[in-house]
Amino acid sequence: MRKLLASLALTMGAVGAAHADLEADADAAAGRELAQPCAACHGESGISPASSFPHLAGQQMSYTAKQIMDIRDGERLVPEMVGQVDDFSDQDAWDVAAFYAEQDANIGQSAPDELLIARGQELYRAGDMSKGIPSCAACHGPAGEGIHTAIYPALSGQFAEYTIATLQDFASGERANDPANMMGDIAAKMSDDDMAAVANYILGLH
């Protein structure tokens, strides 16, 4: 937990210093134009039609901008995104992020499995100290809204399939663009059942 809090403090400071001007100049209207090709996978307003692609509507602006820049710079490998944002400037990334941040987030419905959702709620709200897993809510908020200043994403309403795949990628090290490998450390301690439980809980969280 101390590592988690320390990482949060460092990240918040870095984001504020590095991206304040880009965020202040973010133009959602320009972002809408730039995001038109994204609609095929992520939907016109960021509500994805397919569970293999994440919803972007209502996502924290700082998080979306970082992911676009990380993909562009090779810090995060997403095969479906190859070549899509190669020509984006940092400001383009923030403009697109501003557009999606203004859209209404998806409202999902959890699977009708009481035991699964109960375990997911436990992990999300309290973690599992016996495994060294901190609560998800500490960084992603009690309602899954995320923390803009720390680049911690909103999770509420996200596809369970996508969340599980993301946790698996962090656990395996295939994805490693999180601050101080924080998500890699956490996901590596989670079982497949833990991932399924918290992902299905998040789907219905709002």
For the record, the structure tokens of 43 come out as 């939907």
Phi, psi (degrees; rounded to nearest 5) at 143: -110, 15
Task: Give yes or no for a contact between 198 and 114, defined as CB atoms under 8 angstroms apart.
Answer: no
pLDDT averaged over every residue in the chain: 92
DSSP 134-178: PPTHHHH-TTS--BGGGTBPP-TT--HHHHHHHHHHHHHTS---S
What separation, in Å, do the N-terminal and C-terminal C-alpha atoms of the chain show? Answer: 25
User: Which region among 17-31, 54-68, 121-135, 153-167 has the lowest average model confidence (pLDDT)?
Assistant: 17-31
Given the candidates 1.10.760.10, 3.30.460.80, 1.20.120.80, 3.40.50.1970, the CATH classification of the domain at 114-203 is: 1.10.760.10
Query: Which neighbouring-strand residues pair with 173?
Result: none
Distance CA 194, CA 5 (A): 23
The CATH class that applies to domain 2-101 reads mainly alpha
pTM: 0.90
The better pLDDT of the pair 15, 121 is held by: 121
pLDDT-above-70 percentage for the chain: 91
C-beta neighbour count of 17 within 10 angstroms: 8
Query: Which neighbouring-strand residues pair with 152?
Result: 147
The domain segmentation of the chain, as residue ranges, is 2-101, 114-203
